[in-house]
Structure formats: structure tokens, C-alpha cells
């Protein structure tokens, strides 16, 4: 079989072997570090990929929206954390889900707690979102008074069951190297342990949940942490490769794009594949700020090659991509050929593409 | 009626009155300048919005993929230009569409012409893509030998019918001000007229098609041009407003997003609405390169306010957005409230959202 004959337009290829190996590796790390694994499913958003996790023993997940929780609940997942501060405008959906699965939601304000208590009919588990240095959402780990205040409201409520503290070290995605990830991670683990110590007498069963692919991919130091929630590791991508979170051959997805034009006077190859396929995320390839929208691989009958030198995806408009390359590279490809691109951010690319094609030519749908 | 009660999660509001006025204005300009209007439907991607054009007399369109051509052909559009260099891997679909509608495709290489001639059963119209300075696709307008070469192949073919020259001045989207747009546009019109003069004796009926929202929005100088293909004008967006292509009150779409957290210590409001809703396009708001991911408006029962001062959308992650604001702005909004955001690039935002909600609470689906 030659997978290439099935590819007519920009197509997101999924290497099931690499993907399954990534899942197994994360399960191994969780076991080794005595952690419960709650993978974040926002990266793949697919019931079928979810089954690959389930077959390896995973039985609880995180998602990033209530719609995603609903989709996976409909696909028989019984324990789901919606890892976003709760959206009070979706109270009906929260209530419906809380009535049929073990639903965990995130709170970080008194208003949210009051609304939930007043408007829910079913009981729901809550985590308090803790800010460990990313400064996007959550209460600072040092603000124990603020946390105690929320805990008092939760204790007094009849609908909310306190589960523990949840953090996301999003700043690890902006780290310069693995050392910086390790350093951030150590501080996060320390802060969360201190927090646990303060509140453990009141809540002996409180759990601490932490989740980011960089730290979960390279660290074995999770003392005091109960659960990890990485998501991106299922596919990885160029951002994680550059960060040092994965090896190149662990990247489990590649876009296959048809070549639609060539311009010899400027050594540029135009692909059918743009911002509506990849998203427009980029890495800076050098100190002059040259933008890298993806690295190039050769699409083969049964998969893709290692990254090819001599060219890179240098620009994206809505439907077109521009490959800048040297003359040898330029001459290797013809209009109508396919070229492969390892995406910068696989979560965003998968979200845009809406389905996968496995190397066995099976189409896998997403929500 | 209060539209806000229908909004539970990030929702793309569409003001039908503004949108219809934008369509009417472009139709008026086309008439005034003696141009045929072939609107690009990649911005809205909706059969229903298409009907608003049809009711005002539009009967031919441009699209950016063969799938989009198929969708609009299924919705009774009989004359469609696929404004991308032809993708040779979709020959079956080209042939199928060419058999049932007036299909116009773009060529810029001899290989493409040979493949089309060899593999198509039905006749198809072709435009030669001309590069007028954007340097993304097309043959340089000055390369009349190269163009003559392609024309000879087209003349010799039995399947391809030459229609004319097609250009897209994409560099107008990167202009610094309306003067630069006017200057680029004048040069483009001049170059295309020269080209027309060279080839008119061979092809007396050749058409010249030009299309970009900035020039089509502000220029009345289209001497010698036969057809315009703007797309974004149907909604406009912050990028066009900053370019000077539209007024603020011509922007016909706004995202309505729930507020999910507030952080008083840094005057930040967190919204449910991120890269998977907006795309991650941004404008640089000042000389220090501060990124602007959207401007803020107040969502009212029947629409939205002018842009509010005091805050802006400063960052996007996958599902979250961060609003930086002053204290007055901060105190005006509560968790659970809605806030409106005028998108940077409406084409990308609409593509991600997949549907619209009109101010009359009607849901409009996309392809």
C-alpha cells in the first residue's frame, strides 16, 4: 500500500505506532513516579484516539471545554476534568454532565462558587486553580488567605465537593531550554507541596494535579504531586522538539500538502496548505527572527522521512504556504507532488483539520 | 429581544444590516467603475450569506478550494472561479465540477496545462495567474515570453479555454497607509493594462480580474480592469480598519465571549475565547511591538457598542484570552458577563467558528 495515493488535499497524517508509543511512555513515567495520569484530550479531540488510551488502562481525562466533556462523556468516559475556569453561562450543561459522570470543574473566585451553589441541582467536584508563575489564571500559590476564603465557601456549600488544587505551568512552553523547564518545575512542585501542607489538616484527601507536556516529558521529580495532565505529548510537535521535550521521531503527526506552484527565480515552492490548515503559529529560526512555520519531511509510501535540510516553511497565507529552499531541494520536487510538514503546534493544527488519516489509510474523525 | 441571553460560549455575532450595506457599497462601486463583481466567498463560507449577495444581483463568485466550489455549486452557483493555482491531485473533482458549472481555474505552469489537457474529460476555463508584486504565486506581469509560452499550450489544447489574466495584490494588506495602497494599485492597473495590450490582438475577449479588499474598498481607478474579486469586505475586520479600508461601524462581525476570571492585582480579565476561536493573528499596537489580538466592544441587547477605550485583547492561548485594562474598565465587568471583540482577521475567525449568530438570534451555518 502507498498512503500517497489517498492524499488529494492538505491531510493530517497520524502515525499510530508513534502515537501509541508516546502514550505508553507517559503511562510508564506516571507509574514510575507514582502519579495518576489524566491525559488532556484537547490535543487530539478524537473518540478513537481516546480508545487507544483506554486500551492501555487510562480511565480519566481532562478537556478544555464543556462541549468536549459532553463529547467524551457520550463516548463513555466517566471521569472528566474541565481544565478551564468554569464558564457560568453554561450552567445547564454543567448540571447535565454532573448528573451522569464524575465531573470536575475549576473555580478561582467567590462569585463562581456562589453561582454554582445557587444554580446547580447535581453535585460537582471542584478544584481550585492555582497560579504557579504563568499568570494567566488561578490564585497565587502564596495567597493562602484567599484560598482559605474560597475553601470556606466551598465547605459551606451543598453542591460543591472540594477535590484539591490544580495548576498548569504554561510558562514551561516559553522556556529557553530543558534546564529552565526543570527549574520552573522544581519551584512549582515545591510551591504545591507547601500549599498541600497548609491545607492537608482540613482536607486529608486533597489532591494536587499538575499538567504540562514539557515537564511531564522530561522530569521524574513529582514528589507530593498526585496527578499529571499533559496533553500535547500524544502527538508532540516542532515546538516541543525545539524545547527538548521530545525526539524528532516521537512527533506522531505530519501534514501532507500538494505542491501547486514553483518559482525558480526565487527558489520557492508553493504548497496547498495555509493558515486554515496549520494555524499561523511559528518559531523563530534564528536571531534575525526568521519565522519557521514548519519543518519539511518527505512523504513515503508508509510514513515520512526525518526532517530534510535545504528548505523550510517560511510563510503562510489563508490557503497557501511558501517553502524557501536551495536549488537541490527545489529540483527534487514537482508540481503535483506531496511534501510533508511537521507542524509547529499540533493541538492547533489538529483542531483546524478536524480529522486524521492513519498510515494504514484509515480516516479518524474528531469531535 | 436581548441577544445576550442566547450566548453561552464564544459566539461569532453577525450584524446582517452592516453586512448587507457592505455588499451594496461594493456593488455600487463596481457599477460606478464599470466593473463586473465576483465576490470571494472564502470569507463567509456560507450558503445563506451567499443568498444575500444573490438577492442583490450577484451571480458569479470566487472561492479558495475545490471543496468550497463544490459546496457553492451544490447551492446553485453556476459560475465559480477557484482563485488558487490548480491542485493537480484533485483532477476528478475539477472534472466533475467542470461538467456541471462554468468553472474557472488558475494555471501558471506548463506542467499544469499538460496534466489538465491529458486528464480532463470536460472543458474548463483557465485564467493565467499574474504576479503584480506580491511574489506569492503567478508569472511576473513583465514576463510576456513566459506568458506567450503558456498561451501557446492553452491554444493547442482541446480542454482548456483561455479566459484572461487574474491577479491578487496581496501586498496591499501589508501597506502602511491608504496612500501606499493607492500607489500599489495604480502600478498593478498599469501593468495589467500593458499585458492586456500585448495579448488583445490574439485574444480579443480576454478579461482581466483583480481582487483585494483594500484597493477595491478605497479606489475608483480601475481603467481596463474587467472584474474585481474582493472577499473580506463582506465583514471587514480590525486589520482593514487599521489599513483605512473601512470605517469602524462597517465591521459586521464581533465575537461575544464570556468572562471567566478577573485578576485585580494586574488588572486583567480572562475570557473564554482563544486561538481556536479567533486564530492567533495580531496587529502591532505601538512601536514597542505590543500585540493587539482584538479590540473591545460592549455587547448590547441588539448589537455592539463602538470600540471601548481602557482595554484590549493582549494575549491568546488555545481557549483563553487575556484582556489588559485600566481600573475603571476592570470594575465595569463581572465574571459571567459577556464582552465583545472585533477580530483582527475575520476570514480566519469565521473559518474557525463554523457558524454565525445574527442579532435576530438566527444561527447561520457555514460549509
Contact B9 A115 (CB under 8 A): no
Which residue on chain B is closest to A173 by alpha carbon? B317
Q: How far apart are CA B185 and CA B323, in angstroms?
A: 37
CA distance B358 to B362: 5
Residue A361, helix vs strand vs coil: coil
Does the distance separating the beta carbons of B135 and A266 come in below 8 Å?
A: yes
Q: Rounded CA gap, B8 and A258, in Å? A: 39
Q: For chain A, where are the alpha helices, taking DSSP H only?
A: 16-32, 47-55, 66-74, 91-98, 110-119, 144-156, 178-199, 213-218, 238-243, 275-278, 327-332, 346-353
Q: Which of A42, A84, A275 sits opposite B348 (nearest CB)?
A: A275
Selection from B192, B91, B79 nearest residue B132 by Cα? B192
List the one residue out of A37, A45, A95 whose CA is nearest residue A75: A45
The pLDDT of residue A134: 84
If you measure CA to CA, which chain A residue comes closest to B318?
Answer: A348
DSSP A307: P
C-alpha distance from B364 to closest chain A C-alpha (Å): 19
Determine whether the interchain pair B275/A336 forms a contact, defined as Cβ–Cβ distance below 8 Å.
no
Q: Tell me the backbone φ, ψ of residue A356, rounded to 5 degrees.
A: -125, 155
Kindly report the CATH class assigned to B16-234. alpha beta
Residue A254 forms beta bridges with which residues? A13
B44 alpha-carbon distance from chain centroid: 8
Relative orientation angle of helices A47-55 and A66-74, to the nearest 10 degrees:
60
Of A65, A109, A347, the CB nearest to B335: A109
Tell me the shortest Cα–Cα distance from B267 to chain A, in angstroms.
12
State how far the Cα of A342 lies from the Cα of A312, in Å rounded to an integer.
10
* Contact between B136 and A334 using a beta-carbon 8 Å cutoff: no
pLDDT of residue A309: 95
CB contact under 8 A, A89 and B347: no
Shortest Cα distance, chain A CAs vs residue B71, angstroms: 16
Q: Which of B111, B135, B281 is the closest to A334 by Cβ?
A: B111
Domain ranges of chain A: 3-11+247-365, 16-234
B89 with A115: Cβ contact below 8 A = no
pLDDT score of B64 = 97
Q: Phi first, then psi: what are they for B122, rounded to 5°? A: -95, 160
**In chain A, which stretches have pLDDT less than 50?**
none
Contact across the interface for B348 and A109, Cβ inside 8 Å: no
Is the Cβ pair B90, A275 closer than 8 Å? Answer: no
Measure CA B283 to chain center: 17
Helix (H, G, I), strand (E, B) or coil at B299: strand
- CATH class (in words) of the domain with range B3-11+247-365: mainly beta
Of B85, B261, B320, the CB nearest to A108: B261
Nearest to B337 by CA among A140, A119, A127, A111: A111
B163/chain A closest Cα distance in angstroms: 20
CB contact under 8 A, B84 and A320: yes
- Nearest by CB to residue A280, choosing from B8, B263, B281, is B281
> How buried is residue A227: exposed, middle or buried, by Cβ count under 10 Å (0-12/13-18/19+)?
buried
A320 contacts in B (CB within 8 Å)?
A: 84, 136-137
Q: Which residues of B touch A93 (CB under 8 A)?
A: 8
Nearest chain A residue to B7 by CA distance is A89
Identity of the residue in A87, A170, A262 whose CB atom sits nearest the CB atom of B317: A170
Contact B85 A270 (CB under 8 A): yes
**Do A109 and B347 make contact, defined as CB atoms within 8 angstroms?**
no
| B266–A9 C-beta distance less than 8 A | no
CB pairs under 8 A between A and B: 134
Give the best residue of B3, B64, B87 to mutate against chain A (max A CB count within 10 A). Answer: B87
Work out the minimum CA distance from A15 to partner chain B, whole angstroms: 22
Per-residue tens of pLDDT for chain B, all 367 residues: 899 999 999 999 999 999 999 999 999 999 999 999 999 999 999 999 999 999 999 999 999 999 999 999 999 999 999 999 999 999 999 999 999 999 999 999 999 999 999 999 999 999 999 999 888 899 999 999 999 999 999 999 999 999 999 999 888 888 888 999 999 999 999 999 999 999 999 999 999 999 899 999 999 999 999 999 999 999 999 999 999 999 999 999 999 999 999 999 999 999 999 999 999 999 998 888 899 999 999 999 999 999 999 999 999 999 999 999 999 999 999 999 999 999 999 999 999 999 999 999 999 999 9
Question: Contact B335/A275, CB-based, under 8 Å?
Answer: no
Question: Closest Cα of chain B to A146: distance in Å?
Answer: 12
Say if the Cβ atoms of B260 and A7 lie within 8 Å: no
Query: How close is the nearest chain A Cα to the Cα of B32, in Å?
Result: 30
Say which of A320, A351, A352 has its CB closest to residue B136.
A320
Q: How far is B101 from chain A (nearest CA, A)?
A: 21
Query: Nearest-CA neighbor of B185 among B140, B236, B221?
Result: B221
| pLDDT at B355 (0 to 100) | 98
Amino acid at each position: 500500500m502507498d498512503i500517497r495515493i489517498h492524499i488529494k488535499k492538505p491531510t493530517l497524517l497520524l502515525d499510530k505506532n508513534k502515537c501509541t508509543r508516546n502514550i505508553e511512555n507517559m503511562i510508564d513515567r506516571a507509574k514510575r513516579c507514582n502519579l495518576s495520569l489524566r491525559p488532556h484530550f484537547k490535543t487530539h479531540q478524537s473518540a478513537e484516539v481516546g480508545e487507544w488510551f483506554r486500551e492501555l488502562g487510562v480511565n480519566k481525562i481532562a478537556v478544555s471545554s464543556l462541549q468536549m466533556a459532553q463529547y467524551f462523556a457520550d463516548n463513555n468516559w466517566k471521569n472528566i476534568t474541565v481544565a478551564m475556569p468554569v464558564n457560568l453561562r453554561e450552567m445547564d450543561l454543567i448540571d447535565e454532565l454532573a448528573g451522569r459522570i464524575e465531573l470536575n470543574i475549576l473555580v478561582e473566585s467567590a462569585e463562581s462558587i456562589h453561582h454554582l451553589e445557587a444554580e446547580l441541582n447535581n453535585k460537582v467536584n471542584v478544584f481550585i486553580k492555582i497560579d504557579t508563575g504563568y499568570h494567566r489564571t488561578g490564585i497565587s500559590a502564596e495567597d493562602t488567605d484567599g484560598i482559605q476564603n474560597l475553601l470556606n465557601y466551598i465547605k459551606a456549600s451543598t453542591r460543591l465537593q472540594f477535590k484539591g488544587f490544580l495548576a498548569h505551568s504554561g510558562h514551561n512552553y516559553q522556556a529557553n531550554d530543558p534546564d529552565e523547564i526543570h527549574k520552573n518545575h522544581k519551584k512549582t512542585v515545591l510551591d504545591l507541596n507547601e500549599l498541600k501542607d497548609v491545607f492537608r489538616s482540613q482536607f486529608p484527601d486533597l489532591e494536587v494535579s499538575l499538567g504540562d507536556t514539557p515537564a511531564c516529558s522530561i522530569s521524574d521529580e513529582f514528589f507530593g504531586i498526585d496527578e499529571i495532565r499533559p496533553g500535547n505529548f500524544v502527538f508532540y510537535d516542532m515546538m516541543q522538539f525545539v524545547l527538548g521535550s521530545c525526539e524528532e521521531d516521537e512527533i506522531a503527526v505530519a501534514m501532507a500538502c500538494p505542491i501547486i506552484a514553483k518559482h525558480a527565480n526565487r527558489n520557492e515552492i508553493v504548497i496547498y496548505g495555509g493558515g486554515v490548515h496549520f494555524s499561523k503559529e511559528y518559531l523563530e529560526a534564528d536571531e534575525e527572527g526568521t519565522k519557521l512555520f514548519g519543518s519539511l519531511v518527505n512523504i513515503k509510501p508508509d510514513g515520512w522521512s526525518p526532517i530534510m535540510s535545504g528548505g523550510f516553511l517560511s510563510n503562510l497565507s489563508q490557503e497557501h504556504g511558501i517553502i524557501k529552499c536551495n536549488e537541490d531541494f527545489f529540483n527534487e520536487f514537482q508540481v503535483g507532488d506531496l511534501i510533508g510538514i511537521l507542524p509547529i503546534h499540533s493541538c492547533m493544527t489538529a483542531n483546524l483539520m478536524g480529522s486524521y488519516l492513519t498510515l494504514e489509510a484509515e480516516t479518524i474523525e474528531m469531535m
